[in-house]
């Protein structure tokens, strides 16, 4: 059961081990959260290479900064804050645009084919990637953290360094833009 | 429950227990417009949630920690006791807080006059100005920064009436929340309003803002959605 900060039980154990100089504790931290971090990195950049770079960089930053981790949030929230901020920097500096030829949305490994998926659903998913990429970075990050990572707006605000109201505003602006982009496919 | 609150509650609870809470469902049952909107919203959110991340493969995950470790060296980070580390520094505001505050005041005033829209829940330009000033006095730097973050959004066309209804609840929120919400209501209406308001007021002094508001309140604003001159005052 999560503690009062929403931290899963594993957090306390890892932190205790780090505090005691356990050499394997940081590796366990990486293994525990590597998928969460990578997924956020990928959704922000839509690029596997960038996502890998960001995920590694996130844990490197965590490695050097964990001395200052005060436990006010869960380790997951803390890591997602690092990767989100790094990812926003990448997106905003248009690094992804310069590297878009190697693994952009359209060329990414496709979602496994589903025989029952209708043509409209397929088209909707095809349109979704470009529509998400067209969102301003902060709106994209907020949408992803709420919908794909299942975070509450309060947690998103903590990660994004903004107020809850700003997080909600970012979210609803993103939703409004996507509704417009996908209006022919939402039924 | 209002339509705006029903939609907000639906989004807040989406994907978790409570997304179908009885109040939202009751409202949707009695409001065909919300029922349709929630259906479309649900469809959209389900589409976004189904957007899968391509898995890089088992080998990637098995070696990831080792690759990170290789970049860190062999040392193991040690934790101090909680509470002894310095706070993380806040990021610098996107624009100075004072400029953001001035921009909020000016844009709010201009927007209200230009669109001839009264403050939801009653009131007028003076009421909004007073409220904004009170909020800004008590706002934290983070809120002012947040306000600055929101200003660029005003370039995006949105349904301002819907936003007004969705974001204004003057009797139910703190000054901080109100400030954040007030910045949100400044979104221009689709096809009109303020097409480019994100930066024009940033460099204005308080005196210039006061003069601008006075002019606008007297009906001398452009009222056409054009960008006012910074030196109006």
In this model, does residue A142 exceed pLDDT 90? yes
Rounded (10°) CA dihedral A57, A63, A64, A67: 150
pLDDT at A33: 94
pLDDT at B104: 58
pLDDT at A143: 93
- For the purposes of burial, counting CB atoms within 10 Å of the CB of B70, is it exposed (0-12), middle (13-18) or buried (19 or more)? exposed
In percent, how much of chain A has pLDDT > 70? 77
Give A141's pLDDT tier (boundaries 50, 70, 90). Answer: very high
| CB nearest B71 (choices: A60, A70, A177) | A60
| CB nearest A67 (choices: B40, B80, B145) | B80
In this model, does residue A7 exceed pLDDT 80? no
**Which residue of B44, B45, B145 to mutate against A (max A Cβ within 10 Å)?**
B44
For B40, nearest residue in chain A (alpha carbons): A186
How confident is the model over A60-69, as a mean pLDDT? Answer: 83
- Name the residue with higher pLDDT: B52 or B112: B52
Q: How far is A8 from chain B (nearest CA, A)?
A: 17
- Name the residue with higher pLDDT: A28 or A18: A28
For A15, nearest residue in chain B (alpha carbons): B79
How confident is the model over B16-35, as a mean pLDDT? Answer: 75
**Which residue of A40, A118, A132, A163 to mutate against B (max B Cβ within 10 Å)?**
A163
Count residue pairs from A and B with Cβ separation < 8 A. Answer: 171
Give the model confidence (pLDDT) of A90-106 as tens digits.
887 754 454 444 443 43
pLDDT at A140: 92
| CB nearest A153 (choices: B12, B53, B80) | B12
Buried b / exposed e across B130-151, counting CB within 10 Å, b at 16+? Answer: ebbeebbeebeebbbbbbbbbb
Average pLDDT of the residues of chain B: 55
Give A35's pLDDT tier (boundaries 50, 70, 90). Answer: very high
Out of A64-78, A128-142, B22-36, B189-203, give the one with best mean pLDDT: A128-142
A56 with B54: Cβ contact below 8 A: no
**Residue of A29, A22, A147, A134 whose CA lies nearest to A78:** A29
Out of A131-135, B175-179, B197-201, give the one with best mean pLDDT: A131-135
As for the ipTM of the complex, it is 0.78
| CB nearest A128 (choices: B51, B71, B149) | B51
For B42, nearest residue in chain A (alpha carbons): A186
* Cα(B164)–Cα(A149) distance, integer angstroms: 29
How confident is the model over B215-222, as a mean pLDDT? Answer: 42
Mean pLDDT is lowest, of A96-100, A124-128, A144-148, B1-5, for A96-100
Buried b / exposed e across A92-118, counting CB within 10 Å, b at 16+? Answer: eeeebeeebeebbeeebeeeeeeeeee
Put simply, whether the predicted model's pTM sits higher than 0.80 gets the answer no
**Which residue of A169, A171, A180 to mutate against B (max B Cβ within 10 Å)?**
A169
């Amino acid at each position: 059961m999560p503690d009062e900060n929403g931290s899963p039980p594993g957090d306390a154990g890892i932190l205790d081990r780090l505090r005691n100089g356990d050499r394997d504790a940081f590796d366990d931290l990486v293994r525990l959260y590597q998928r969460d971090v990578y997924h956020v990195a990928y959704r922000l950049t839509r690029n596997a290479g960038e996502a890998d770079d960001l995920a590694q960089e996130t844990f490197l930053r965590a490695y050097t900064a964990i001395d200052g981790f005060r436990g006010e949030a869960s380790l997951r929230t803390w890591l997602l804050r690092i990767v989100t901020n790094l990812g926003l920097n990448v997106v905003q500096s248009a690094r992804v645009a310069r590297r878009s030829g190697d693994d952009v949305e359209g060329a990414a490994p496709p979602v496994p084919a589903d025989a029952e998926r209708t043509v409209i659903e397929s088209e909707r998913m095809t349109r979704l990637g470009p529509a998400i990429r067209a969102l301003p970075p902060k709106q994209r990050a907020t949408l992803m953290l709420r919908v794909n990572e299942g975070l509450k707006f309060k947690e998103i605000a903590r990660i994004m360094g903004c107020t809850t109201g700003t997080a909600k505003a970012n979210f609803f602006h993103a939703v409004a833009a996507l509704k417009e982009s996908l209006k022919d496919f939402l039924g | 429950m209002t339509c705006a609150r029903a939609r907000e509650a639906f989004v807040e609870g989406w994907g978790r227990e409570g997304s179908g809470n009885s109040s939202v469902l009751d409202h949707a049952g009695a409001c065909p417009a919300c029922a349709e909107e929630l259906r479309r919203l649900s469809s959209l959110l389900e589409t976004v949630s189904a957007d899968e991340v391509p898995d890089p493969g088992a080998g990637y995950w098995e070696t990831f920690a080792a690759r990170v470790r290789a970049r860190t060296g062999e040392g193991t980070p040690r934790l101090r006791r909680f509470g002894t580390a310095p706070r993380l520094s806040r990021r610098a505001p996107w624009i100075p807080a004072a400029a953001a505050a001035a921009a909020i005041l000016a844009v709010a005033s201009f927007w209200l006059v230009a669109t001839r829209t009264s403050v939801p829940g009653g009131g007028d330009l003076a009421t909004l100005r007073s409220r904004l000033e009170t909020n800004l006095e008590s706002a934290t730097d983070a809120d002012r920064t947040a306000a600055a973050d929101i200003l660029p959004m005003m370039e995006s066309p949105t349904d301002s009436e819907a936003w007004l209804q969705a974001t204004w609840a003057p009797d139910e929120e703190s000054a901080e929340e109100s400030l954040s919400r007030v910045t949100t209501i400044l979104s221009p209406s689709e096809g009109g309003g303020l097409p480019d308001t994100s930066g024009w007021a940033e460099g204005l002094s308080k005196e210039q803002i006061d003069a601008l508001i006075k002019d606008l309140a007297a009906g001398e604003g452009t009222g056409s959605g054009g960008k006012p001159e910074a030196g109006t005052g």
